[in-house]
Amino acid sequence: RLATRRIDSPPSDDDGMRRLRRDTSASSFLGRVRTPPTASALSTASACRGQRHSAAREIETEASLAVERDCKRLFFRLTSAAMLLRVRTKDGTERLTMDPDAQLSGLRSQIATSFQVPVQQQQLHLSEQVGPVMKKGRLLSPNENATDLRQLGIISGSMLFLDYEMERQNTAVNEAYKKDPFISLVKEGELRRQGTNQWTLTNFLDYRSTKEFKLEAPPEPHCKFVQVDPAASQSFINFMILCGFQSKRLGILYGKWVEDDEGNSGVQVHAIFEPKQDSTSEEIALLEDEETESRLHALALMLGLTRVGVMIAHPARQYAFSVNEVLLAAKMHGEAVKADPEKGKRFVTMKARPVLQDEKDIEGVATMEAYQVTDQCVALAQREAFSQSNTDPRVAKTAKDCCFIVDKKEQRKTTMEPLVARVFDIARPFESPLGTGFPIENRHCARRKRTCTPARNPPSEATLRRESFSQRVKALRRLNPRS
C-alpha cells in the first residue's frame, strides 16, 4: 500500500531521480508477489499440510491413550483399595473406612459399630451437590440393604448424611476417662469429680432454651368467682384493723370447689384458718406445728372441706404483691394442684389491706381483693427460677443461669404483673352453715398491745359485734371496688 501511494503521488523536482528508482523497485517487488504460483509449488504446499495434520492426529491419539491409561490406573486403585466415606451427623462430620465390595447392610453395621447408633435409628441419605454446598439427598430405604455401594453411587470420598434421635456418647472421652489414673481417687471421695460433660452447640442451645422464660400478659384465671363467708372474712379483717395493719398476716382458706348455673368455675370459702406465725411488716414467718396441721386436715375431711386458697393481709403500700408473697402463694397453689390436678387450678390468693387516702371511691377503712398466680408462675417457683431482689420487694431477679424474655429482650429482673391474674367477681352472697363462738387461736396482737389508730377511725370491736348479718353482707360488698 505504501508503494502504491508513492507511485500515485507525483515526484518532486528536488529528488525526482532518487524517488523514481525507489518506486520502480517497489513496483517490481509487488509484481513479483502477485505472480500466481506454479503447479509444483501447490503440490509441495499440500504435502506439507498433510504431514502437519497427520502429526497432529498422532499426537492427539497418543494423548488420549495416555489419559485412558491414567484413568484405568486411578479406577483400579479406587476399586481395589478401601473406600473412605464421610458421614455427616448432628454431632459433626466423621470418617468411615469400608470395603469397596461391601453392601448397604454392611455400611449400616459398620455405622452401628463405629458410631454406636443402632440400625433401627439410622436414617441414611445420599448427598447432592447444590452449587458449592453438599445437601441432603435421597433416603436409602431398608429394601436396598442387599445392594452394592457402587450401584448406589457410593465411592471413595462420598458424603453421606446420617440422622438419628438418640444422644450419642463421646467414646473418645469415655476411653480417656477410663484411663484416668485419678478415677479411683474420685470414687473413693479423696478428689472432687471434675467436669466430664462434653458440650456441643446443639446441647448448649437445648439447655439454654430450658432456662429462658417468655413473660407476657397474664391469661384469664381458672377461677372465675370467689364466694367468701362474711363472718369469716369480717373476723379476719377486724383483727387486722385492731392491729392497725402494722404487720403482715396469713390465713388459709378452707372451702369447696363449686360451679355456678352458667358453668363458671369458682370457690366457696367457709372458714379461714390462721396458723402460728411471727410475721413482720416486711415478711411472713410461719411456725411449724405438725400436730395442729394433722388435726386440721382430719377435721377438714370430716366437714367435706379442702384448702382452696390463701389470704394475705399487709400494711398500706402502693403495689399489690411482693415477690416473696407470690412465691409463698405459688408453693401452696402447687400443692393444691398436686392433690387435685383438675380442681386445684382454681386455688385463689386473696389479700386484705387498708384503704389508701387517695382511694376516694372505696368506702370503709379496709378492702379485700382476689387474685390467682398463673400456671407459669407455679412452674417457675417450683424450678426456683427467680427470687426477691435485695433492694426492692416488688422486683424479681432470675437465677444465675436463667433469664426472662420480655418484649423479645432478655431481662434479669421483672415485676409480678405478668405472673398474677385478677379475679374481679368476689361479691356474690354466700353464708356458710359453719359457725363457732370460740375465740380464734394464734392471735397475739392484743396481748402485745400493738394496736394503733389507722388513717380513718375504725369502728370499735363492740360496734362490729352488734352489726347484724345483713349489715355485714353490705359491708363486704362495699369492700370490693368493682362491685
pLDDT at 435 exceeding the cut of 50:
yes
pLDDT at 195 exceeding the cut of 60:
no
280 and 324 inside one domain: yes
Residue 61 lies in a domain: no
* Domain stops at, among 131, 163, 195: 163
pLDDT at 400 exceeding the cut of 70:
yes
397 and 267 inside one domain: yes
C-alpha distances out from residue 473 to 254, 351, 469, Å: 19, 18, 6
Q: What DSSP line would sit under 170-211, residue for residue?
A: -HHHHHHHHT-TTHHHHHTTSSPPPP-----HHHHHHHHHTT
Q: What DSSP line would sit under 367-427, residue for residue?
A: EEEEEEE-HHHHHHHHTT-EEE-SS-TT-EEE-TT-EEEETTEEESEE-SGGGEEEE-B--
Tell me which range, 9-13, 39-43, 129-133, 287-291, is most confidently predicted by mean pLDDT.
287-291
Residue 100 lies in a domain: yes
**Least confident among 247-251, 308-312, 355-359, 433-437:** 433-437
Percent of the chain whose predicted confidence (pLDDT) is above 90 = 34
317 and 229 inside one domain: yes
Tell me which range, 179-188, 198-207, 371-380, is most confidently predicted by mean pLDDT.
371-380
Provide the sign of the torsion angle of the four alpha carbons 357, 362, 366, 372, taken in this order. negative
270 and 123 inside one domain: no
338 and 245 inside one domain: yes
> 83: which strand partners?
98
178 and 158 inside one domain: no
pLDDT at 25 exceeding the cut of 70:
no
pLDDT per position as a tens digit, 100-125: 888 889 999 988 888 888 988 888 99
pLDDT per position as a tens digit, 269-288: 999 999 999 889 899 999 98
Residue 275 lies in a domain: yes
Model pLDDT, residue 165: 85
Q: Confirm if 266 and 259 have CB atoms less than 8 A apart.
A: yes
pLDDT per position as a tens digit, 235-270: 999 999 998 999 999 999 999 999 998 999 999 999
96 and 145 inside one domain: yes
26 and 115 inside one domain: no
Q: Confirm if 347 and 309 have CB atoms less than 8 A apart.
A: yes
Q: Confirm if 98 and 158 have CB atoms less than 8 A apart.
A: no
pLDDT at 408 exceeding the cut of 90:
no
> 125: which strand partners?
139, 161
CA 12 to chain centroid, in Å, comes to 101
More confident residue, 355 or 58: 355
Domain extent, residue 427, equals 225-479
Q: Of 163, 168, 75, 98, which is closest to residue 126 (Cα–Cα)?
A: 163
CATH number of the structural domain spanning residue 104: 3.10.20.90
Q: How many domains does the chain have?
A: 4
Model pLDDT, residue 342: 92
Q: Which 8-state DSSP code applies to residue 347?
A: -
269 and 237 inside one domain: yes
Model pLDDT, residue 199: 63
Residue 252 lies in a domain: yes
Residue 44 lies in a domain: no
pLDDT at 391 exceeding the cut of 80:
yes
**Least confident among 18-27, 32-41, 201-210:** 18-27
3-state DSSP call for residue 83?
strand
User: pLDDT band for position 360 (50/70/90)?
Assistant: confident
Please provide the size of the chain in residues.
483
User: pLDDT band for position 33 (50/70/90)?
Assistant: very low
Residue 58 lies in a domain: no
Q: What DSSP line would sit under 205-236, residue for residue?
A: HHHHHTTEEE--S----S--EEEE-HHHHHHH
195 and 147 inside one domain: no
Q: Which ranges constitute the DSSP H helices of 81-153?
A: 104-115
Q: What is the Cα–Cα distance from 391 to 95, expressed in whole angstroms?
A: 57
Percent of the chain whose predicted confidence (pLDDT) is above 70 = 72
More confident residue, 315 or 62: 315
pLDDT at 442 exceeding the cut of 80:
yes
Q: What is the Cα–Cα distance from 373 to 141, expressed in whole angstroms?
A: 51
Q: What is the Cα–Cα distance from 86 to 98, expressed in whole angstroms?
A: 11
Q: Confirm if 248 and 284 have CB atoms less than 8 A apart.
A: yes
Tell me which range, 150-154, 164-168, 470-474, is most confidently predicted by mean pLDDT.
150-154
pLDDT at 368 exceeding the cut of 70:
yes
362 and 443 inside one domain: yes
Q: What is the Cα–Cα distance from 206 to 427, expressed in whole angstroms?
A: 47
pLDDT per position as a tens digit, 60-106: 788 788 888 777 776 656 555 678 889 988 888 888 888 888 888 99
Instruction: Output the CA angle 67-68-74, nearest 5 degrees.
Output: 90
Model pLDDT, residue 190: 46
Residue 78 lies in a domain: no
286 and 259 inside one domain: yes
Residue 137 lies in a domain: yes
